[in-house]
Structure 1
């Protein structure tokens, strides 16, 4: 794995900086150089001597991993079906026929999560810890990205949509106010509902009073040069470059608190 935080090889003691390639040994909670054999004897340190950077190692998950696997599964099934039904012309049919929209949607979703995940990884530090593609317990739904920061926990849903996101408000003075999220002319209000459900799941996992923010991040939308971001029912709609400064902002949570929240969420929300 690529280390999220610096550590030391358990065999030779070599310092391994953050983002270095190394092997994490789950049973001992230590790391070692990729060139060392796993059978090498372990020099067990005292509890006080354990490297805190190693103790904090949490596998963050793969951005867009489950969406990418589902796309590849559907595409492989399609190819298998066409080749079975048309043994001689299967290759030609595959070359000339397009994928179903329901299949390409998984690829589009995976690309959006992958791109945002790459940008988020570039911000990672001991005060900005990430989790990607986490399964919500007892459901088939997942959370695209979680960022645990000094200013709170951010639940981030990545969307690769074309068109301009905007808020349409109906009613008001004499009728109930209704807010709808549109992308171009497409009604995407259900996306807000989805993020709100994810926020409630995360809040329910935390036993301390920490802010949990819901975010819809559109990675390729047609945003205006000035303004553009908005909030509806507590969920922010924005793009990556508007999100990053918020995640890096100062806040009341210490690095130790952030690490503990990160471990707790990683344990409760397994990688999808």
Structure 2
């Protein structure tokens, strides 16, 4: 290996060399920046070029003072993001705009409008509600993380777009792409039609109104995460789209909590869903979470 790409340091995380030797946290070893691989001192010494044999005509090299190598961290802390940060910023932007528009109206109108709509227009208030819903979902995922179920990431940026993914959770059964939706006491249902001699059509309804756009958006987010894992060691990891209805009234039967491959759940059901058994051990889950944190950075 080219020694110019290897830096000697004291590891802050335990690792293993390609030869199979384990290197504990705090021990000195090499760090191959290009391969992102720990190199034990034995392999580092073996790969170092042998010094030339001195001859009568060889001028001795000048004495060089070697300064101690500054410790360099291994993999940094996982960037989990801040749940609801993007929605909160959008709410504050819209609220500022609404407040500025109020100043142009009469005092009586401002007083009445401020009483009935303290958070601005209804569309502005929706962003505040959305941010609160994401925070509650994040709390449920935090409990799952602390239980050792997996790793949560919040408010991830979609490459090339202004949109974001509310939550990601890397569990034993795969990566869950979670979108938080807040519909207070709203009845959630799945309507099925067709079948027998034709294709079956599944329709998501919220308060009796069709919400197929929610399903379409989740399928698009699923594709974004799948593309982020493509070409890596995590390619092929199952990616599960989830619509989490905070305070929504979900169907009683489990079969009615799926629509076109998208899972439907509440806060309690979310904790159970992400804890599903699978083939990914903790080291694998952390590796996938770090990969997603880099390829889908936080907002």
Residues 162-217 of structure 1 deviation map (CA, whole Å, 9 limit, x = unaligned): 42111101222344321100012111111111111111111111132211111111
CA contact (8 A) 1:165 1:182 kept: yes
Residue 268 (structure 1) aligned with residue 289 (structure 2): no
Indicate how the Cα distance of structure 1 residues 29 and 182 shifts in structure 2: closer, same or farther if over 3 A, else same.
farther
Which of 90, 107, 132 is the matching residue for 1:70?
90
Distance 1:267 1:220 in 2: 32
Aligned length: 229
Residues 141-177 of structure 1 deviation map (CA, whole Å, 9 limit, x = unaligned): 1111000111111001111114211110122234432
Structure 1 unaligned spans of 5+ = 1-27, 31-43
Residue 155 (structure 1) aligned with residue 137 (structure 2): no
Indicate how the Cα distance of structure 1 residues 47 and 60 shifts in structure 2: closer, same or farther if over 3 A, else same.
farther
Instruction: Give the aligned partner of residue 103 of structure 1.
Output: 124
Which of 129, 134, 138 is the matching residue for 2:156?
134
Tell me which moved more, 90-99 or 56-65.
90-99
Moved over 4 A (4+): 86-91, 224-229
Residue 46 (structure 1) aligned with residue 67 (structure 2): no
Residue 253 (structure 1) aligned with residue 275 (structure 2): no
TM-score scaled by length of structure 2: 0.69
Tell me which moved more, 130-139 or 254-263.
254-263
TM-score scaled by length of structure 1: 0.75
Residues 108-147 of structure 1 deviation map (CA, whole Å, 9 limit, x = unaligned): 2112111111111122145510100111010111111000
SS at 1:192 equivalent = helix
SS at 2:237 equivalent = coil
Distance 1:185 1:134 in 2: 31
Shift of 1:54: 7.6
